[in-house]
Amino acid sequence: MAATTHSSPVNTSPFYSIQLRRFAVVSFVMMLASLFVLFYLSPFANMIIISLESRDQMSTTKDGAILPSEPVTFDYQGQKLNMYTVPLDSGDKVLAMLQPGRKSSQFIDPAHPDAPPIVWEGQWRTLPQATSFKIHPENFATVWNDPNLQFLQLFRNTLVIAVTGLIGTLISCISVAYAFARFPIPGKNVLFLVLIATIIIPAQVTLIPTYTFFSKIGWVGTWLPLIVPHFFANAYNVFLLRQYFMTLPRQLDEAAMIDGATPFQVLLKVIIPQSWPVIISVSLFHIIFAWNDYFGPLIYLLGHTDLQPISVGVQVYNYAYGAHPELVQATSLLAMALPLILFFAAQRFFMRGVVITGVDK
């Protein structure tokens, strides 16, 4: 009697097919997203690697090494001999080159330095050089302590400009956004459209009139042109704040007014406590803008090195020390350290604020 075999049935239900297709689509999208992130962050990774290398490492590294590395040497009778991977009959072995030659070279075995030299037939330049992983974090200390750069002063100047401007941005933008979101202003929608339309005006259009105005009132050469304009609201920040305020139920305002709260008290005690995600988002936008602003400080603080922020100071340093790419990259990383720390620290609030303001309304 022949034996019968039983095979597990293949699930061909529509639900299983839908789940399989969904899994394939999600996997494909995740793969594309991972490749995009890897490609996008590759320059940043290269910046970190270069900042941790020495000048000699960049000039002597062979075989296309990616990570910071330097040649391995062996002390032999007061000499420092370079190490190479030499193919021998017994297998590849790392040896110290004692005497290079055109057709044959002599090597010393580091494990047996007293043994006679090993003669290898071949062109030694084709041999891979032995290297070891080594970083140089002292590049950051060199940059930080460089008297020509004065990093502490640049940080102080940038913080003063960014924080003072941030106070003005929050006060003005929250007030304007609150008015557009809650008050029955005649022609409010038209005024809001006019405000939003100012976003598309290039900064170059208003550059000469603005500079002429600030020059006439004697503000050129001070921080005032970089701080005072932020006390008059910004269309983009007003838009974000207004969109978030409109997601808050008006019943909360009415309940506070029944208890005797004024519109200003409603803003302070009802609206702002519930709007921290978008307020943090606006704060991050402003700090990053102020930290990266180069053109404004360049034209208004030209010749005043004691007032320049870090964006201008780093560029001056890059021009002066362009022959030392490791120091240039270390300078750039130090300059962007604080914005990166702030972004990752407030990432949860930042993403929540952007999603709500951009999707709900």
pLDDT given for residue 237 in this prediction: 93
Give me the residues of the chain with pLDDT under 50, please: 1-2, 10, 62, 357-361
pLDDT given for residue 1 in this prediction: 46
Domain boundaries, the chain: 73-129, 146-359
The pairs formed by 211-215 with CB atoms below 8 angstroms and a separation of 24 or more are 211/299, 211/300, 214/300
CATH for 146-359 is: 1.10.3720.10
Place of tokens 């709900």: 360
pLDDT given for residue 211 in this prediction: 93
Residues near 58 by beta carbon (within 8 Å), at least 6 away in sequence: 50, 325, 326
Q: Is the pTM of this model over 0.85?
A: no
63-93 pLDDT, tens digit per residue, is 556 778 878 888 888 888 888 989 988 888 8
